[in-house]
Amino acid sequence: MGINRRDFVKLAGLSALFGLGGKAGWELLAPGQVEAQIKAQGKPLTAKRWAMVVDMRKLDDATAARCIEACHKIHNVPDYTKPVNPKDALTPEQIVRWEVKWIWTDHFHNAFPGFDQPYMQERLEHLNFLCLCNHCENPPCVRVCPTKATFRRDDGIVMMDMHRCIGCRFCMAGCPFGARSFNWRDPRPFIKEEYPDYPTREPGMVEKCDFCVKLLAKGQLPACVTESKGALIFGDLADAKSGPREALKAHYTIRRKPHLGTNPQVYYIV
Amino acid sequence: MADYKNEFGVFAERPTVEKKLYNKLAVFLGLTAFIVLATFPLWSNAGRTIPPPQPSLDTPTIKGLTDKQCVLPVEEIRAVHMKLLIDWREQVVRTGNRVWVNPQGKKFEPSLTNTCLGCHSNKAQFCDQCHNYVAAVPNCWGCHLDKSPKVAQAEVK
Amino acid sequence: MLETAFTGSKRYYRLLAVLLFFMAVGAVVYLRQLSFGLGITGMGRDVSWGFYIAQFTYLVGVAASGVMVVLPYYLHDYKAFGRITVLGEFLAVAAVTMCLLFIIVDLGRPDRLLNVIFYPTPNSILFWDMIVLNGYLLLNIVIGWTVLEAERNQVKYPKWVKPLILISIPWAPSIHTVTAFLYAGLPGRGYWLTAIMAPRFLSSAFAAGPALLILLALIVRKFTKFDPGREQIQTLAKIVTYAIIINVFFFFCEIFTVFYSQIPDHMLHFQYLFQGLQGKGQLVPWMWFAIVGMTVAAILMVFPKIRQNENTLALVCGLIIVTTYIDKGLGLISGGFIPNPTEKVVEYWPTLPEALITLGVWATGFFILTILYKVAVSVKEEVKA
């Protein structure tokens, strides 16, 4: 080798400087505020505090089923009761254990444990309440996540970062509403029709409703809201004239497990 | 060296051992085995010619473009697309910002499936060509679909 | 000093071979788990933590119990424990290693493990768990090894070890408190939402850990030339006695609060564990065995005649280990998750692959323990000679 130690260190130092400088240069060249053409897309919907009011007077079982189907379809949520290849059929126990659901229905005493009483309004006994992630204002799931893979956005939505999740399932233990699902295996063999505008998930990650952030960014309402034909009222709680605020002003609403202090943002008109 | 000590107790003096090559057979067998295993990639591929990657830009979308430009110039995108995609995903998922502007001022949606695969809809003839050659296995495809919605719609029609 | 681990009796090599076999089996099954996903275990949407986390919780207690030999010796100058502090520290090393391994095998994406370091989140208890567990591991390796080496060379251990030892004393209960806080801060899990969770963890740890140490000491005395000492074992037995009595007392405190207040959300979990709920109760016999056995063990340990006879002592220690394991292993996790947040009962039982991976991790821990104990015992035998 013809190079002595001092020269080598000098060379290494200069190379490192160039490398870092190059990185800095690339960073400087990144986004600037210049107008241009872009494919026509609706202006994104923004809010200070997204919330939803579920009007159970208008939501019948058929509509609820359509809402669930719409949500699960556009997010490639697997249906473990319907394998693409019949040979992959699962046992009932596996179906229960591996179920992934972002939105579902439950009876009153399951959705609102502790609220039910021996003699209730007859209608309430059989009513199927639509349940989903409540996008709480004080979410325990966000509090416990060790990597901030689940985090609360400024507009109130509790978001999942699928790229960062390590699959520790602490958030699942933390959620008092059972709103989170885990991918115990590869879901693709149980997705009949792959929806092209949304990824699937790999095994080892937690997933849940994200209030359709992708649709909101395109200026559309969440799929379940659109499908519900008015039974689900979605809007900005900070805006006094929004749908949810009007509904909350006009009707008595209940929330799931409010005494736990998570401040859920899904309200139910019963 | 009266206080020389090993696990069996104290010796009066350090034991002397004749200097020579012990366990000749084991040493040479082990050395040979190691050299063979360590150079395995070299001699097992001797004489084979691996054709260089030939990524193909032959897709309907690209053919239909008047201005055949990627989001960044070719040399640049080739070098930085890995980091660009990571920056895109951080931007979209963590800040919710779904608009990215390239240095020329053109706006794009920062999306692997929509933007990249919108033009490069032939993953097997494009992305995989170089990736297979250098044995790079990007783990995007476990989740992200390799067919953009535009292409999927066109196929249905 | 590690060279002493490479020479041993045939029995020693046979033990290592058996442990290596189970480690290999566990590793192969783990590869299957990596490729298929955690679905090969019995966990599901409702019981999302299971056997792996249960083992981790139990072993954190065993690891923390190392402080029970360190504290009397280094802080209160109880000279008798000088013989066995290294046994306690090496047991802590093996136990914490198993804890970390169980956390890793439980992760859905172990390839992203480093995200906990890249994106530190101080509000998450898991973040602190990572810090305290790794810190405790490092402390015990350094302290145990250095003090042992000093003993071998018949000099006093270097001065810088003392502050580390003093740090390890509060650090040990902290690893267990942090682990208890994983459970005790979750608003949706009534079984775990009790201020007494951390104290319960500590009391069962200080019963199970020294009980295990007693059994290990008896084994070491039987199979090697090193005798940990009768007085040492008796002092450990006294520690176990007080800890197990407190543990049983804490359990009855829980029962009183839950059933006297009659709040349904808290009662349901105990009802599932001890009576069965919605027609399901596969854990009922286990839980009754655990509680009755623990109470019986506590009563037995009070009698000096039983404690001082090392045969009966070994039996009662075994009973304590088994009952605390069932209580913390099976009962804690299932009880917390069942019934689920919508008050439905979905039961959990580990599958065979899950059990094999668990066995592989235990084998790894015992492998490390065997090697470390061999080193410690060899040094002690050598010094005596």
| pLDDT 10s digits, A163-186 | 999 999 999 999 999 999 999 999
Do A68 and A13 share a structural domain?
no
State the pLDDT confidence band at B11, using cuts at 50, 70 and 90. Answer: low
* pLDDT score, position B10: 63
Which positions ≥6 away from C381 have C-beta within 8 Å?
A: C224, C225, C226
Binary contact (C7, B7; C-beta < 8 A): yes
State the pLDDT confidence band at A27, using cuts at 50, 70 and 90. Answer: very low
- Segment C330-348 shows an average pLDDT of 94
- Segment C126-145 shows an average pLDDT of 95
Binary contact (B9, C385; C-beta < 8 A): yes
8 Å CB contact between C80 and C235: yes
A37 touches B: beta carbon within 8 Å? yes
Looking at the structure, give the CATH architecture of the domain made up of residues C2-384.
Answer: Up-down Bundle (1.20)
- Quote the CA–CA distance of C67 and C143 in Å, as a whole number: 12
Q: Is residue A59, in this structure, part of any structural domain at all?
A: yes
How much is the mean pLDDT over chain A?
89
State the pLDDT confidence band at B9, using cuts at 50, 70 and 90. Answer: low
* pLDDT score, position A23: 53
Do A91 and A212 share a structural domain?
yes
CA of A200 vs chain C CAs: smallest distance (Å)? 15
* pLDDT tens digits, one per residue of A38-51: 344 578 899 999 99
Do A223 and A144 share a structural domain?
yes
Half-sphere exposure of C292 (CA within 13 A, CB side): 7
A93 touches B: beta carbon within 8 Å? no
Chain C residue with minimal CA distance to A97? Answer: C44
CA of A106 vs chain C CAs: smallest distance (Å)? 8
* pLDDT score, position C20: 97
Binary contact (C3, B7; C-beta < 8 A): yes
Chain C residue with minimal CA distance to B3? Answer: C153
The CA distances from residue A217 to A43, A178, A228, B92, in Å, are 7, 27, 20, 10
Binary contact (B143, A199; C-beta < 8 A): yes
Do A13 and A145 share a structural domain?
no
Closest residue to A168, CB basis, from C107, C118, C341: C107
Binary contact (A217, B107; C-beta < 8 A): no
- pLDDT for residue C288 is more than 50: yes
Do A100 and A23 share a structural domain?
no
Residue A151 forms beta bridges with which residues? Answer: A159
Do A183 and A54 share a structural domain?
yes
Helical (H) or strand (E) element with B60: helix B60-64
Closest residue to A262, CB basis, from C106, C107, C187: C187
- pLDDT for residue B47 is more than 90: no
List the structure tokens of C306: 């039983």
Chain A residue with minimal CA distance to B144? Answer: A199
Residue A62 carries which side chain, given as an amino acid letter?
A
Chain A residues closer than 8 Å to B94 by CB: 151, 161
Closest residue to C45, CB basis, from A106, A144, A182: A182
A172 touches B: beta carbon within 8 Å? no
Chain B residue with minimal CA distance to C4? Answer: B7
- Segment B35-58 shows an average pLDDT of 89
Chain B residues closer than 8 Å to A201 by CB: 143
CA of A26 vs chain C CAs: smallest distance (Å)? 23
Q: In this predicted model, which residue has the larger pLDDT, C1 or C48? A: C48
Chain B residues closer than 8 Å to C3 by CB: 7
- pLDDT for residue A22 is more than 70: no
Please choose, from the candidates A198, A178, A179, the residue with its C-alpha nearest in 3D space to the C-alpha of residue A187: A198
Do A54 and A32 share a structural domain?
no
Do A96 and A9 share a structural domain?
no
The tokens 């655990």 sit on which residue? C290
Residue length, chain A?
270
List subunits contacting chain B, requiring 3 or more Cβ pairs under 8 Å: A, C
A22 touches B: beta carbon within 8 Å? no
C32 touches A: beta carbon within 8 Å? no
* pLDDT score, position A181: 97
- Quote the CA–CA distance of C283 and C157 in Å, as a whole number: 49
* pLDDT score, position C265: 86
A39 touches B: beta carbon within 8 Å? yes
State the pLDDT confidence band at C119, using cuts at 50, 70 and 90. Answer: very high
* pLDDT score, position A21: 53
B99 touches A: beta carbon within 8 Å? yes
Please choose, from the candidates C92, C85, C89, C84, the residue with its C-alpha nearest in 3D space to the C-alpha of residue C60: C92
Q: In this predicted model, which residue has the larger pLDDT, B147 or C142? A: C142
User: DSSP letters of C154-221?
Assistant: TSPPPTTHHHHHHHHHHHHHHHHHHHHHHHHT-TT-TTT--TTHHHHHHHHHHHHHHHHHHHHHHHHH
Q: Is C368 helix (H, G, I), strand (E, B) or coil?
A: helix
* pLDDT tens digits, one per residue of A183-217: 999 999 999 999 988 999 999 999 999 999 999 99
Which positions ≥6 away from C20 have C-beta within 8 Å?
A: C363, C367
Listed as own residue / partner, the contacts of C264-272 with beta carbons closer than 8 Å and 24 or more positions apart are: C264/A113, C264/A114, C265/A113, C265/A114, C265/C190, C266/C190, C266/C191, C266/C193, C268/C190, C268/C339, C268/C343, C269/C190, C269/C191, C269/C335, C269/C336, C269/C338, C269/C339, C270/C191, C270/C335, C272/C334, C272/C335, C272/C338, C272/C339, C272/C345
How much is the mean pLDDT over chain B?
86
Chain A residue with minimal CA distance to C118? Answer: A147
Do A253 and A144 share a structural domain?
yes
Chain C residue with minimal CA distance to A185? Answer: C37
State the pLDDT confidence band at A33, using cuts at 50, 70 and 90. Answer: very low
CA of C54 vs chain A CAs: smallest distance (Å)? 14
A27 touches B: beta carbon within 8 Å? no
Chain C residues closer than 8 Å to B9 by CB: 385
Q: How many domains does chain A have?
A: 2
* pLDDT score, position A34: 27
* pLDDT score, position A29: 43
A118 touches B: beta carbon within 8 Å? no
List the structure tokens of C142: 């350094």
Using N-to-C axis directions, what is the helix angle for C85-106 and C197-223, rounded to 10°? 120
CA of C13 vs chain B CAs: smallest distance (Å)? 18
- Segment B60-72 shows an average pLDDT of 87
Which positions ≥6 away from A247 have C-beta within 8 Å?
A: A53, A55, A233, A253, A267, A269
List subunits contacting chain A, requiring 3 or more Cβ pairs under 8 Å: B, C
- Quote the CA–CA distance of C282 and A158 in Å, as a whole number: 36
Structural domain boundaries in chain C:
2-384
List the structure tokens of A88: 């992959």
Binary contact (C43, A167; C-beta < 8 A): no
CA of C144 vs chain A CAs: smallest distance (Å)? 31
Task: Provide, rounded to the nearest whole percent, the portion of chain B with pLDDT above 90.
Answer: 39
pTM value surpassing 0.80: yes
Q: Is residue A153, in this structure, part of any structural domain at all?
A: yes
* pLDDT score, position B85: 94
8 Å CB contact between A56 and A268: yes
> Best mutation site among A131, A144, A190, A260 for testing chain C: the one with the most C CBs within 10 Å?
A144
List subunits contacting chain C, requiring 3 or more Cβ pairs under 8 Å: A, B
Chain C residue with minimal CA distance to A101? Answer: C45
State the pLDDT confidence band at A19, using cuts at 50, 70 and 90. Answer: low
* pLDDT tens digits, one per residue of A236-262: 999 999 999 999 999 999 999 999 999
Neighbours of A14 (CB within 10 A): 10
Binary contact (B94, A197; C-beta < 8 A): no
Query: Phi/psi at C283 (nearest 5 deg)?
Result: -95, -10
Please choose, from the candidates C107, C33, C354, C42, the residue with its C-alpha nearest in 3D space to the C-alpha of residue A96: C42
List the structure tokens of C380: 């002690």
List the structure tokens of C253: 């405190």
Please choose, from the candidates C5, C9, C239, C23, the residue with its C-alpha nearest in 3D space to the C-alpha of residue C145: C5
- pLDDT for residue A268 is more than 80: yes
- Segment A102-120 shows an average pLDDT of 93
* pLDDT tens digits, one per residue of C348-378: 999 999 999 999 999 999 999 999 999 999 9
b/e code C197-234 from CB counts within 10 Å (16+ = b): bbbbbbbbbbbbbbbbbbbbbbebbeebebebbeebbb
> Best mutation site among B5, B6, B7 for testing chain C: the one with the most C CBs within 10 Å?
B7
List the structure tokens of C118: 């890249």
Helical (H) or strand (E) element with A181: strand A181-182
- Quote the CA–CA distance of C39 and B152 in Å, as a whole number: 31
Q: In this predicted model, which residue has the larger pLDDT, A11 or A263? A: A263
Q: Which of residues 7-66 of B touch C (CB under 8 A)?
A: 7, 9
- pLDDT for residue A6 is more than 60: yes
* pLDDT score, position A40: 45
- Segment A117-137 shows an average pLDDT of 93
A202 touches B: beta carbon within 8 Å? yes
Closest residue to C343, CB basis, from A110, A181, A261: A110
Which domain does A248 fall in, by range? 50-269
- Segment A58-82 shows an average pLDDT of 96
CA C290 to chain centre: 16
